[in-house]
Amino acid sequence: MRLLLVEDDDHVAAALSAVLKKHGFEVVHARNGEEALQAVLPTAHGQRAPFAVVLLDLGLPDQDGYQVCGRLRRLTSTPVIMVTARSDVRSRIHGLNLGADDYVVKPYDTGELLARIHAVARRSGAAETEDGAAPGEAQEAAPLRLGPVAVELSTRRVSVDGVAVPLTRKEFDLLALLAQRPGVVFRREQIISEVWRTSWEGTGRTLEVHVASLRSKLRMPALIETVRGVGYRLVVPAPAG
Ligand code: CA
């Protein structure tokens, strides 16, 4: 797997690169935000091999790490793991809302970091693609239909009345989870552990933010019902008219 390591401290980068290479990663090192953005852009001769994961240190010399995350997100769908010394809940939520897929606080355990890298890559499908299955070969399961909403799990596409609605990775994961069992109440902790794979405090707020943005992006405020004190459930709308 190719991994982009964004880290301005050469000592930290060298040590981490050595560990990652030992575990089979091809590491590309960027020392600042500009190099990171350049690394994900296609070359003049065509597409580079995509990265499976970006490890992004938030303390960079040239640009704010959060800004770099937002820009990476607009350029590529490669999952981003933020690495930072800031452990406060607000920083984590800010990072997740900018589209980071996970958040690791320094000092971290290398084993845990590797586990998170693999988990994020697996979820995004990068690992499977590396193993030989072409992306197009994903199972062509019929989309889940929820009234006017169609959720295609294999392509991660969502449409309302046939019109595609772009969602962030986590918004899609949340909708896909609820949509697989319409009418069933999912507990908050259950959703957080399924979608964010963590139980850190503060994700509760992040969950609310994602529910609100799904309701508004799909223009269907009643699609996801809040079950007070418990969690959420998806309510399939009755056909119009
Ligand atoms: Ca740094």
CA distances from 207 to 147, 157, 189 (A): 24, 20, 10
Q: What is the pLDDT of residue 228?
A: 92
Tokens read off for 93: 């939520």
40 CA to middle of ligand 1, Å? 20
Look at residue 212 in the predicted model and tell me its pLDDT. Answer: 94
Sorted by where each starts, the structural domains of the chain and their CATH numbers stand as: 2-130 (3.40.50.2300), 135-234 (1.10.10.10)
Q: What is the pLDDT of residue 128?
A: 47
Measured in Å, residue 65 CA sits from the centre of ligand 1 at 9
Q: Which residues neighbour ligand 1 (ion) by CB within 5 Å?
A: 8, 57, 59
Measured in Å, residue 161 CA sits from the centre of ligand 1 at: 46
What is the CA(22)–ligand 1 centre distance, in A? 23
Query: 35 C-alpha vs ligand 1 centroid, how far in Å?
Result: 14
> Judging by beta carbons within 10 Å of its beta carbon (0-12, 13-18, 19+), is residue 8 exposed, middle or buried?
middle
Q: Could you tell me the pTM of the whole model?
A: 0.55
Angle between helices 169-179 and 203-217 (to 10 degrees): 80
Q: How far is the CA of 79 from the centre of ligand 1 (A)?
A: 20
Ligand 1 centroid to residue 30 C-alpha, Å? 11
Measured CA to CA, the distance from residue 197 to residue 194 in angstroms comes to 5
Tell me, what's the pLDDT at 132? 42
Residue 211, judged by CB atoms within 10 A of its CB (0-12, 13-18, 19+), counts as buried
| Residue 126 region by backbone torsions, left for phi larger than 0, else alpha for psi between -120 and 50, else beta | alpha
The pLDDT averaged over each successive group of 10 residues in the chain (241 residues) is 94 94 94 92 67 93 90 85 81 79 85 88 63 43 83 88 91 90 85 74 77 93 92 82 53
* Phi, psi for 105 (deg, rounded to 5): -100, 135
Question: Which pLDDT value is given to residue 133?
Answer: 43
